[in-house]
Amino acid sequence: MRTQVGIIGAGPAGLLLAHLLHRRGIDSVVLESRSRAYIEGRIRAGLLEQGAVDTLREAGLADRLDREGLVHNGLDLLFDGTRHRIDLFGLTGKRVTIYGQQEAVKDMVAARIATGRPIFFEVADTAVHDITSDRPSITFTHEGTRHRIECDVIAGCDGFHGISRPAIPASAVRVYDRVYPFGWLGILSRSRPVSEELIYARHERGFALATMRSHTLARLYLQCAPDEDLSLWPDERIWEELHIRLSCGSELEEGPILQKGVTAMRSFVVEPMRHGRLFLAGDAAHIVPPTGAKGMNLAIGDVRVLDAALGAFFAKGDTSLMDRYSAICLDRIWKVQRFSWWMTQMLHVFDHADPFEHRIQLAELDYVVNSPAAATTLAENYVGLPYAV
Ligand code: RFL
Ligand code: PHB
């Protein structure tokens, strides 16, 4: 097989890249280790920045998003028993949209299949070769047969646990990694969301977040241990803890829990995001803690730059944007890392025995909700910093 861009991973990064390149007339092959049903059902992110929505709309991928997405103009911070609204739209003129990542993935898989161009699910033993040459290749097994794809460029969009990043020699990269001493226990419940907008709660027992997927599906998170044992969390205990941490006058409606999971939290960046003809995008290159809702948004930001860079390369042989790909992405990624870290440290309990931490967090939250300058800082980061490309 021969293609221009070999794309490893059919998450938001890989699927969006395949779609944008197709619109430019650039050929690609998408390889995914999981089944189509698995990636379309995997519950993950839910919140899109205004720029991410605009990107999907410009790409012709937003018909269902425009119909079903829930547009939010603000969010609430809950601490010391009181809810405070941050008026995102009033402070920035921009909004955010709730639309499940798996819904965006379904839309993009359907768009890919409609093009008739190749997407292989359930591939195994994916490996990249000759990445510093101008004819890199990918080998993989599909339905028992070993294949090789010769490419001009490889896009490593295979997430944090993929094979692309480890294919770069350790001596060629610098890694930044911070692991947090907590995780999130997340549930999806068939019940009315607590409020029309999101509630980020700082409570002495730990952080909680009330978000949603629709008017009848609530998505709720609790700070827990990074390796929390789910068997210790029967439904009653989850609801009891949510009632305590989200107690704010609004009613928390209980419902059947459809899905439960624990996510550990880390901040991670690899620099540079390119080695020879291998380009990393999305979670393959960076991880943020979910408190700022930035993971999927960052993946979309990277792909915008990579699409433009590959467009210039295949149209005119111009490598200048390819050469700046990593620097352009990292400039925004580090600002988003900072924001995600800041939201995380302001809202989580790191050390239950540290009263100083508690008072500092309350002072910071009080400052954020009462200072227009501080509220605007939160809002402009939350709705999404501008793109350079
Ligand atoms: P993905 O989505 O992980 O996709 C990578 C794909 O590559 C496949 N793969 C391989 N394929 C072929 N060969 C191999 N060797 C392969 N190895 C892996 C994988 O199966 C997978 O399909 O990465 P991508 O595209 O970079 O997208 C990143 C986002 O998925 C991620 O950042 C977000 O989900 C993070 N995130 C959130 N982001 C937001 O923007 N807003 C949010 O509200 C938000 N909330 C969250 C989140 C992530 C969470 N979890 C579970 C990690 C909430 C949670 C709980
Ligand atoms: C979600 O809807 O799953 C979600 C929203 C905001 C976050 C994290 C997750 O910060």
CB 260 within 8 A of CB 186: yes
CB 63 within 8 A of CB 110: no
Nearest atom (ligand 2) to Cα of 200: 10
Q: Whose CA is nearest to atom 4 of ligand 1?
A: 11
- C-alpha 209 to ligand 2 mean position (Å): 8
Q: Whose CA is nearest to atom 50 of ligand 1?
A: 44
Token pair for residue 94? 């921009």
Nearest atom (ligand 1) to Cα of 49: 40
Q: What is the pLDDT averaged over residues 299-316?
A: 98
Indicate which ligand has the atom closest to the C-alpha of 101.
Answer: 1
Indicate which ligand has the atom closest to the C-alpha of 211.
Answer: 2
Of the pLDDT bands very low, low, confident and very high (cuts 50, 70, 90), residue 248 is confident
Sign of CA dihedral 240, 246, 251, 253: negative
- C-alpha 159 to ligand 1 mean position (Å): 6
Token pair for residue 23? 């619109």
CA 374 to chain centroid: 25
Nearest atom (ligand 1) to Cα of 12: 25
Residues 198-210 pLDDT 10s: 999 999 999 999 9
- C-alpha 83 to ligand 2 mean position (Å): 18
- Rounded to whole angstroms, the Cα distance separating 18 from 382 reads 27
What is the structure's pLDDT at 39? Answer: 97
Q: Whose CA is nearest to atom 36 of ligand 1?
A: 45
103-133 in b/e burial notation, b at 16+ Cβ within 10 A? bbbbbbbebbeeeebebbbebeebebeebee
What dotted CATH number matches 5-73+95-176+266-348?
A: 3.50.50.60
Residues 62-90 pLDDT 10s: 999 999 999 999 999 999 999 999 999 99
As a whole number, the mean pLDDT across the chain is 97
pTM of the model: 0.97
Positions marked catalytic: 72, 200, 290, 294, 382
Range in 91-95, 136-140, 351-355, 378-382 with the lowest mean pLDDT: 351-355
Strand 5-8 relative to strand 96-98: parallel, antiparallel, unpaired?
Answer: unpaired
Phi and psi (nearest 5°) for 361? Answer: -65, -45
Strand 5-8 relative to strand 208-214: parallel, antiparallel, unpaired?
Answer: unpaired
What is the structure's pLDDT at 230? Answer: 97
What is the structure's pLDDT at 233? Answer: 98
What is the structure's pLDDT at 251? Answer: 83
* Phi-psi domain of 198 (left: phi exceeds 0; alpha: psi -120 through 50; beta: other): beta
Residues 152-186 pLDDT 10s: 999 999 999 999 999 999 999 999 999 999 999 99
User: Does the N-terminal peptide bond of residue 372 adopt cis geometry, omega within 30 degrees of 0?
Assistant: no
Residues 94-141 pLDDT 10s: 999 999 999 999 999 999 999 999 999 999 999 999 999 999 999 999
Strand 124-129 relative to strand 274-275: parallel, antiparallel, unpaired?
Answer: unpaired
Domain parsing of the chain, residue ranges: 5-73+95-176+266-348
Spell out which residues line ligand 1, taking CB within 6 angstroms: 8-14, 31-34, 39, 44-47, 101, 123, 126, 157-159, 162-163, 184, 186, 263, 282-283, 290, 293-297, 299
Spell out which residues line ligand 2, taking CB within 6 angstroms: 45-47, 198, 211, 219, 290-291, 293
What is the structure's pLDDT at 35? Answer: 98
Terminal Cα-to-Cα distance of the chain (whole angstroms): 32
Which residue in 268, 248, 137 sits closest to 198, CA to CA?
248
Q: Whose CA is nearest to atom 30 of ligand 1?
A: 296
Other Cβ atoms less than 10 A from the Cβ of 370: the count is: 10
Nearest atom (ligand 1) to Cα of 281: 26
What's the half-sphere exposure (Cβ side, CA atoms, 13 Å) at 143? 2
Contacts of 288 (CB under 8 A, 6+ apart): 267, 294, 295, 298, 336, 337, 340, 341
What is the structure's pLDDT at 74? Answer: 98
pLDDT at 329 over 90: yes
What is the structure's pLDDT at 265? Answer: 97
